[in-house]
Structure 1
Amino acid sequence: MTQRALVAYGTKNGSTAGIAEVVGEALRCCGMEAEVCSAAEVEDVTSYDLVVLGGALYAGRWHGDAVRFARRHRAELLHRSVWLFSSGPLDPSAGERNIPPVRGARRVMDRLDAREHATFGGRLEQGAQGRMARMIVASGRGGDFRDFGAISAWAADMALKLGAEVPQR
């Protein structure tokens, strides 16, 4: 039987949504059914075997939509395999070392007994929403620091740990 996965995310400027799409595609390549959507739009998680929840990092906090998703669906998520990711560092640090979850993500991880958490680099570019985001871009500290190869590898490793067939490269 094919495992069904939900990849839900909270994002402000779209970087985390892009990461979620890559996770969903990697899970599909491993034979899973995967749906990717905004955490704010998810009404029910009972039809999924696996839930991957991602949240953007802003000023050291996990995106509110991800936190609310975890709170709203806590009872159902306790009976599913849950994995978390964060996106945000605007430098190469996420690819150089393991960055622990921020307090909000750690709290969700503990409350849901999540299997794993990963932090990936973020993206902040011209046209970003929010005064602080625009200031960061204007100061030259923006850019795209997402490593799609590492994101795909993380998702494939997740699928492997859940018993899916990971295609040979």
Structure 2
Amino acid sequence: MTDKVLVAYGTTNGSTARIAEAVADVLRKDGLAVDTLPARSVPSVSPYDAVVIGGGLYAGRWHKDARRFVRRHGRALTERPLWLFSSGPLDATASERDIPPVPGVRKTMARLDARDHVTFGGCLEEGAKGWVAGMILRSGKGGDFRDFTAIEAWAERVAAELRNGA
């Protein structure tokens, strides 16, 4: 049985952080001890028996903090169960079908032997930081496309794997 799980995330405007919190909440309800932290603030993964890392997608790439996290902790991540998630599409596609990981995340999955990856819809709302975010919002393409039912269902699958000795 896993004792302690880290849910780390890379986010710019907080949308991916909220997804990470939802994942952590499900794992906690399943009796696991969980820390939810920004990826850039994790000094070591050694206190954790399993790791979930998520990153927002920006121009087809995972958030820089998530990319740096998997590079910095790569060797240690191969020694424990690992799951990845992405958040990003600003439309309903993530709820309608499975979206494969972007190329960089696909390489990370293979290199670190991740158990699973899922892409969730993203969220970009008024007040978001960044020039590109402002452009997207001005073009009318913002909104909240996160599906918390799907997020919780995925987290329940992760919890079940951990319960069964992942």
TM-score range, shorter chain: over 0.9
Q: Match of 2:37?
A: 37
Greater shift in the superposed pair: 79-88 or 98-107: 98-107
TM score, norm. by length of structure 1: 0.94
Q: Match of 2:131?
A: 131
1:3 Cα deviation from its structure 2 partner:
2.3
Q: Match of 1:47?
A: 47
How much identity, in percent, do the aligned residues show? 60
1:97 Cα deviation from its structure 2 partner:
0.4
Q: Is the CA contact 1:54–1:66 (under 8 Å) kept in the aligned structure 2?
A: yes
Please give the per-residue CA displacement for 1:44-103, whole angstroms capped at 9, x wherever unaligned: 111111100001000111111111100101111111000000000000100100000001
Runs of 4+, deviation exceeding 6 Å: none
State yes or no: 1:148 paired with 2:148. yes
State yes or no: 1:107 paired with 2:107. yes
Q: Which runs of 5+ in 2 are unaligned?
A: none
Q: Give the secondary structure class of the aligned counterpart of 2:13.
A: coil
Q: Match of 2:11?
A: 11
TM score, norm. by length of structure 2: 0.96
1:17 Cα deviation from its structure 2 partner:
0.4
Q: How many angstroms apart in 1 are the aligned matches of 2:108 and 2:3?
A: 23
Q: Which runs of 5+ in 1 are unaligned?
A: 165-169
Q: Give the secondary structure class of the aligned counterpart of 2:163.
A: coil
